[in-house]
Amino acid sequence: MRYSRHYDAGDFEVQVGSSSKDIRLTGSLTLSKKDIVKPEIISLSPANNSVEVHKLDTFKIGFSEPVYFNYNKQIRLMDYATGLLVENINSATISGKGSNKLTFNNSVQLKNGIRYYIEFADSTFLDYSDNPCDGIPDKEKWNFMVDVTSAEYIGTQSADLTLFPNPANDQIIIQNFPAGTAPSNVEILDMTGRKVDSFILPANQIRYEYNCQTLRSGIYFVRISSPSGFLIKKLVKE
């Protein structure tokens, strides 16, 4: 357990001896104001109150002093509008201890057009003198938007998959699936990366007729797992 130590800044004389009347060694010590001032948050990436979009899953918090993470505390990713918890950040992803900038990652798929903010309690971060950072109490300042609409974010495009809608717009013919010796799970994702439907592709089958009647008009992605990773193809429902 770490304890806060409080003292006054300034120049101090140090004396060592067997008693107050037997001083055998003297010296001096300077404690700077830096040693007693709490570290402050000076930056958040993505940018504070950002109107720009954030496509990555790595976040950075900049501090005025080198800091260390207190593993008894949580960093929380919150929904700005509702104030509900989206994810407790996995402390194993935090890196940069002892520096002015710590990075961490989220694992929950963030949604396009939703505003988020970072929140953590006092003493989540401590400097080398155990001075705590006061946390991020003001979500009006520490919030940002995300953009996960690109296929590159969800996975890599595959030129192999081909999609042919029929004239009635109720079936999508998907061809050139990688032939596998075992059944494969195929997912239909919306623009935020959320799964809206799925089906099982039988073993050794490379063509499938997908019933898209339940999908609303819009852009979706077809995703199938393959030995080389995920194959992604954009699907447009008129």
What CATH number has the domain bearing residue 171?
A: 2.60.40.3080
User: Does any domain span residue 12?
Assistant: yes
Write out the residue range of the structural domain in which residue 89 sits: 41-145
| Nearest partner of 101 among 66, 135, 72, 71, judged by Cα | 66
What is the average pLDDT across 118-144?
A: 83
pLDDT digits (tens, 9 = 90+) for 49-91: 655 555 557 788 889 889 999 888 889 988 888 889 999 988 8
pLDDT digits (tens, 9 = 90+) for 170-186: 888 888 777 777 888 88
Task: Based on the fold, state whether residues 48 and 134 are members of the same structural domain.
Answer: yes
What CATH number has the domain bearing residue 67?
A: 2.60.40.1220
Single out the residue in 145, 170, 185 at which a domain terminates: 145
User: Does any domain span residue 135?
Assistant: yes
What is the average pLDDT across 94-122?
A: 83
Task: Based on the fold, state whether residues 16 and 29 are members of the same structural domain.
Answer: yes
Task: Based on the fold, state whether residues 27 and 75 are members of the same structural domain.
Answer: no
User: Does any domain span residue 59?
Assistant: yes
Task: Based on the fold, state whether residues 45 and 141 are members of the same structural domain.
Answer: yes
User: Does any domain span residue 230?
Assistant: yes
Name the band, by pLDDT with cuts 50, 70 and 90, for residue 155: very low
Single out the residue in 84, 118, 145 at which a domain terminates: 145
User: Does any domain span residue 138?
Assistant: yes
pLDDT of residue 33: 55
| Nearest partner of 67 among 137, 6, 141, 135, judged by Cα | 135
Size of the chain, expressed as the number of residues it contains: 238
Task: Based on the fold, state whether residues 179 and 214 are members of the same structural domain.
Answer: yes
Name the band, by pLDDT with cuts 50, 70 and 90, for residue 154: very low
Name the band, by pLDDT with cuts 50, 70 and 90, for residue 116: confident
Q: How many domains does the chain have?
A: 3
User: Does any domain span residue 163?
Assistant: yes
Task: Based on the fold, state whether residues 56 and 106 are members of the same structural domain.
Answer: yes
What is the pTM for the complete model shown? 0.50
Tokens of 223: 């995703």
**221 alpha-carbon distance from chain centroid:** 23
User: Does any domain span residue 33?
Assistant: yes
112 has a pLDDT exceeding 50:
yes
